[in-house]
Chains A and B, each alone.
Chain A
């Protein structure tokens, strides 16, 4: 619990820095550190699989892709002019924030055993996955067995992303 506030502070600092900094390579690395702090938050909340994916993809692979993209373009965002914020945004965004904070009061507490999410089908997975699949990691059992069709479609999405990048970027070959 003592680590949560410094980590959230670090998240806000790195997210703001990645938006505000002018040098785009610095922005990419700040975004990588943001992903790493977010991975620590996930690990602190007990979602180790999500933390692993966030650390590997957000801080590792996405940083490399951003850098490779920047090498093809320019490293400074001097051509992008930030216009003054329109007045509907100035009025609407704080209202949206207040609305979200008001809605967050109705969310169940962290680890609440009687919330809707933990009473519907999660107990079935938690109780039966070891006997059904001999897989101690419940997340893997749900992803690859109970919900394997979703994972199949996600694999198709990744495959399509690779194909689309090759079709768009590799011209003339």
Chain B
């Protein structure tokens, strides 16, 4: 299990860097259709910011509650991606053919735009959750399970 870092410099800098990194991740995710970046990179940056929170404040700290709670979204990104494909199939087309996304009052190119955006969000959610999940799995210590169960009751 990762213990919280006791250096004041690291903790203070972490409080500054982590929100900036998360904001940059969302920017890369949203801006991926206009510049370099996209769902994968945005998800990795968001995951890296949450892993940084775990490494600095410890996994049981209230400061890394977002990294703990995001684990419940495991598979949600894949569900978004497959859901967009399924919506295309419901609309009468092939899997992931955004022409059949059937959004009213939108032309075909805009439907493709919406489809790309939704699938990018799906990839970002999947990558972010998986990154945090692998980091928590790697820091999982078998020896501390009895102590945790004893302390919690």
- Which A residues fall within an 8 A CB radius of B? 48-49, 51-53, 56-57, 60-61, 64-65, 68-69, 71-72, 131-137, 139-141, 143-145, 148-149, 151-152, 155-156, 158-159, 161-163, 165-166, 168-173
B37 in complex: contacting residue of A49, A131, A173, CB < 8 Å: A49
Whether B36 contacts A145 by the Cβ 8 Å rule is no
B116 and A141 within 8 A (CB): yes
Q: Is the CB of B123 within 8 A of A151?
A: yes
Provide 13 A-B residue pairs closer than 8 Å at the C-beta atoms, listed in order of the A residue: A51-B36, A52-B28, A61-B48, A61-B131, A72-B139, A72-B141, A134-B113, A136-B34, A137-B33, A137-B38, A140-B38, A140-B120, A155-B123
- Main SS class of interface, B: helix
A65 to B54: give the CA distance in the assembly, Å.
13
A172 cross-chain contacts in B, Cβ below 8 A: 142, 145
B115 touches A145 (CB 8 A): yes
Measured CB to CB, the nearest residue on chain B to A60 is B48
Q: Which of B81-102 contact A (CB under 8 A)?
A: 81-82, 85, 95-96, 98
Shortest CB-to-CB span from B105 to chain A, Å, is 15
Consensus secondary structure, chain A interface: helix
Which of A57, A60, A137, A144 lies in contact with B119, CB distance below 8 A? A144
Q: Which residues of A contact B78 (CB under 8 A)?
A: 155-156, 159
Which chain B residues border A171 with CB–CB below 8 Å?
A: 142
A70 closest partner in B (C-beta): B138
Asked if residues B109 and A131 are in contact (CB atoms below 8 Å), the reply is yes
Give chain A residues whose Cβ lies under 8 Å from the Cβ of B53.
Answer: none
Chain B min CB distance to A157 (Å): 10
Residues on A with beta carbons closer than 8 Å to the beta carbon of B126: 155, 158-159
User: Is there contact, CB below 8 Å, between B32 and A140?
Assistant: yes
Within 8 A of A (CB), among B5-44: 28, 32-41, 44
Question: Looking at the complex, which one of B34, B38, B96, B127 makes contact with A148 (CB distance below 8 Å)?
Answer: B96
Given contacts A65-B134, A161-B134, A168-B137, 10 further A-B contacts (CB under 8 A): A49-B37, A65-B138, A132-B108, A133-B98, A137-B34, A148-B85, A151-B123, A159-B77, A169-B137, A173-B145
Q: Which residue of A lies closest to B108 (CB)?
A: A132
Query: Are A132 and B44 closer than 8 Å at their CB atoms?
Result: no
Q: A144 contacts B38, CB within 8 Å? A: yes
Chain B residues contacting A53 (CB-CB under 8 Å) are: 40-41, 44
Whether A64 lies near B135 (C-beta < 8 A) is yes
User: Complex: how many Å from CA A47 to CA B8?
Assistant: 40
Q: Mark B107-131, 1 if CB is under 8 A from A, else 0.
A: 0111011011001101100110111
Q: Which residue of A lies closest to B122 (CB)?
A: A155
Return A70 CB to nearest CB of chain B, in Å: 10
A149 in contact with B112 given A56-B44, A158-B127 (CB within 8 Å): no
B45 partner residues in chain A, CB cutoff 8 A? 56, 60
